Chains A and B, each alone.
Chain A
Amino acid sequence: NAGVTQTPKFQVLKTGQSMTLQCAQDMNHEYMSWYRQDPGMGLRLIHYSVGAGITDQGEVPNGYNVSRSTTEDFPLRLLSAAPSQTSVYFCASSPSGLAFSYEQYFGPGTRLTVT
């Protein structure tokens, strides 16, 4: 099993550009989440999904869109990149059950810089 994979590993964007961060998991997990990690801020939840076709907002959803058309994939879209979105982004998945009741499996991260 590859676990949780994320692409790209690094990305530089100009302000106003859009892009999609890819996330895939091969563990048949129902729950998938996106976080951003900023120095001194810990991890903050952006969006999450409890299954295909179902998504919900986390703590910091503004400026990001998600969709979940399959169990395996959970892409994160930046609609119009801003310097405040410079961060390291992590995707995670966990088995079915109550939301956030199971341990999460994290991908290796995408380091995004917006200039």
Chain B
Amino acid sequence: AQSVAQPEDQVNVAEGNPLTVKCTYSVSGNPYLFWYVQYPNRGLQFLLKYITGDNLVKGSYGFEAEFNKSQTSFHLKKPSALVSDSALYFCAVSRPSNRDDKIIFGKGTRLHILP
């Protein structure tokens, strides 16, 4: 069975500093990995995904994520945080090649960017 973990409930970063939101996964075979962001009282918005190829994936709003197969991680990063990046971030994993595997979301990490 597949699983995904976001080990930090909350991350605080000063504006202008680099940020990292961590995600680790467990799945047999090749995973599809996603990051979504949720602003208050809104639905989730897609940021980026990894399927195959280059381990560094670039997405919306200046975010990027690095796929590390040996560490089974897919951490979300941004070189310089903005106050407007404050939101709830979700990592998700799926394995479309297996009909029995659905999509699993992490519990979410709340990102606070301090002015």
Query: Smallest Cβ distance from B90 to chain A, in angstroms?
Result: 6
Give CA–CA (A58, B102) in the complex, Å: 7
Across the two chains, which residue of chain B brings its CB closest to A97? Answer: B96
**Contact B105 A44, beta carbon cutoff 8 Å:** yes
- Please determine whether A101 and B94 come into contact, CB atoms closer than 8 angstroms: yes
Tell whether, in the assembled complex, residue A100 and residue B43 are in contact, meaning their CB atoms are under 8 Å apart. no
Interface residues on B, range: 20 to 34
Partner of B34, one of A97, A99, A103, A107: A103
> B97 an interface residue at 8 Å Cβ cutoff?
yes
**Cβ–Cβ < 8 Å partners of A41 in chain B:** 107
Residues of A within 8 A of B (CB): 4, 33, 35, 40-45, 48, 58-59, 90, 92, 97-101, 103-109
**Cβ-defined partner of B43 (8 Å) among A40, A44, A109:** A109
Q: Which residues of A contact B102 (CB under 8 A)?
A: 45, 48, 58-59, 99-100
Say yes or no: B44 contacts A90, CB within 8 Å. yes
Determine how close the nearest CB of chain A comes to the CB of B6; give it in whole angstroms.
8
Other contacts beyond A42-B105, A100-B94: 11, CB < 8 A: A42-B108, A45-B103, A59-B104, A90-B44, A92-B44, A97-B96, A99-B99, A100-B32, A100-B96, A101-B94, A108-B41
Chain B residues near A43 (CB-CB < 8 A)? 44, 90, 92, 105
